[in-house]
A = this chain, B = another copy of it.
Amino acid sequence: MELSHIEHIGIAVKSLEDAIPYYENVLGLKCYAIEEVKDQKVRTAFFKVGQTKLELLESTDPEGPIGKFIEKKGEGMHHIAFAVSSLEDRLKEVEKMGVRLIDQQPRKGAEGLDIAFLHPKSTFGVLTELCEDKNK
């Protein structure tokens, strides 16, 4: 597998409205988009730092994945997403190597990317997303 860069870091927050001013005023980043991903029961806010985006994730439903994560672990880093090409092939490749997949097939994530998650039990505790930008 060849990872070109870290596409984004997903960060779980209780409230985008509370967290965005910290990222903008203290860290000096600019929130360039807010998007709801209904499928994942989240609202997301995006910032860019060099090659990598920070994706703040606010749950829209306590039973959604981010709602449950915050209840269990509190706010904080949630996942890391690596940019890949030929995502479907990459999933087959890592599955053959014994990695447990959360998504057997790519699905649509925020910003129109094709995404798939690897299970943290296979990745030493790091919820890992692979993503491909087919619009590029």
Contact = CB atoms under 8 A, between A and B. Distances in A.
Interface of A: 1-6, 9, 11-14, 18-19, 22, 25-29, 49-52, 73-77, 80, 82, 94, 97, 99, 120, 122-127
The copy count of this chain in the complex is: 2
Contacts of A50: 3-6, 51-52
Nearest to A76: B125
Given A3-B49, A26-B99, 18 more contacts: A3-B50, A5-B52, A6-B6, A6-B9, A6-B49, A6-B50, A6-B52, A11-B125, A13-B125, A14-B124, A22-B124, A25-B97, A27-B82, A49-B82, A51-B51, A75-B125, A75-B126, A77-B77
A125 B15 CA distance: 12
B26 A3 contact: no
A97 B26 CA distance: 7
Given A52-B5, A73-B73, A123 B28 contact: no
Contacts of A123: 22, 26
A124 B52 contact: no
A60 B104 CA distance: 37
Given A49-B6, A52-B5, A52-B52, A12 B99 contact: no
A11 B74 CA distance: 17
B82 A80 contact: no
